Amino acid sequence: MGSGNILEIRDLHTSFFTDSGVVHAVNGVDLDVPKGKITGLVGESGCGKSITAKSVMGLVRYPGRIESGSIRLDGQELTGLKEKELRKLCGQEVSMIFQEPMTSLNPVLKVGRQVAEALRVHRGATSKAEEKQEVIRIFEKVGIPEPEQRFTAYPHELSGGLRQRVMIAMAMIMNPKLLIADEPTTALDVTVEAQILRLMKNLCGENGMSVLIITHNMGVVAEICDEVYVMYAGRIVEKAPVFSLFDETAHPYTKGLLASIPRISGNPEYLSTIPGVVPNMKYLPTGCAFHNRCPLASEKCVREVPEMVETGEGHFCRCHLAKAQTARG
């Protein structure tokens, strides 16, 4: 493994074996998270983003399982680890912020106690005074006002932004090498969203921590990411440095995502959309999974799965059209 990446995923296949058929949620994903950088994973709901993250954390439950592939965290292979070994790593080396803090926090336990639990699990026995001091310290670091009072608060007594900061504190308290943030600004208003994104960016810069942020919000990607992966129907279809993705968009799906962002300068009566819906992951179409929604699709797109090709420096695209452009270049 190259020393430049904290996380390397290679040819990952994660499927769910249901009574009605096999759901190919993650279908051959390759993904790198460089050390000290923020990497974005974007795509529509149902494309496999969260399952990719849960595969890293060992949180894929029956009837799902990782069928094949490699997940390496700082050089250590995770896919062959026993559950006890993986659980020890998760929290210390890698932590995850889940989508909705109100449902992720236990409503009947005070938030300070919930954050302190990570210390007890991963660091062993400590006094309650030491635990409280450490939790208050991390509360201050993530910008929670009046941290001593918040320590004894219940989740319902906090605003959405404060609950999300508690979740970040819970993930950060063991100073992990990698933070996975799954839709960390869902249901937050735009002001709080900006604060949370700024906080994550600052924590990354101060601690040298790496971040994998999962979102469908291209504005979030533009705000904090260094590199971006675009996912569709279980596969990565485009990878690029963030500015290259916006300035030199290569895949028709990515172009559709960007075109669907509302703009103040646009026609207020018209909103661009991508026709059709994400395919059923039990019955993936032949060839390129996007061909039945793509305005540029050809017979080749229906027959053959395109390979990832480089269309620019560090910019890769899984599209037959991109391959033709590369060949002409």
Residue 65, pLDDT score: 95
Is residue 196 pLDDT above 70, yes or no? yes
pLDDT over 90 at 240, yes or no: yes
Say which CATH topology domain 5-93+178-278 has: Rossmann fold (3.40.50)
Report the pLDDT value the prediction gives residue 1, as an integer from 0 to 100. Answer: 40
For every residue of 164-195, DSSP letters joined together read HHHHHHHHHTT--SEEEEESTTTT--HHHHHH
Per-residue pLDDT, averaged over 136-150, amounts to: 92
What pLDDT, on the 0 to 100 scale, is given for residue 168? 87
Closest CA to 32 of 236, 295, 300, 298: 236
Average pLDDT in the chain = 89
Q: Which residues of 258-275 are buried (b: 16+ CB within 10 A; e: fewer)?
A: eeeeeeeeeeeeeeeebe
pLDDT recorded at residue 2 = 46
pTM higher than 0.85 for the full model?
Answer: yes
CA 325 → CA 204, 206, 287, 307, 319, distances in Å? Answer: 37, 41, 19, 14, 10
Predicted confidence at residue 125, as pLDDT, reads 57
Tell me the pLDDT tens digit for each residue of 78-119. 998 988 888 888 878 899 988 776 678 899 999 999 999 888
Asked if residues 74 and 177 have their Cβ atoms less than 8 Å apart, the reply is: yes
Largest CA distance in the chain: 68
Going from N- to C-terminal start, the domains of the chain cover 5-93+178-278, 106-175
Residue-wise pLDDT tens digits, 296-317 = 999 999 999 999 999 999 999 9
> In this structure, are residues 318 and 307 in contact, taking their beta carbons and an 8 Å threshold?
yes
Instruction: Report which DSSP code applies to 277.
Output: -
Q: Are 7 and 178 in contact (CB under 8 A)?
A: yes
- Our separate counts of H helices and E strands in the chain read 13, 12
In this prediction, residue 329 has a pLDDT band, given cuts at 50, 70 and 90, of very low
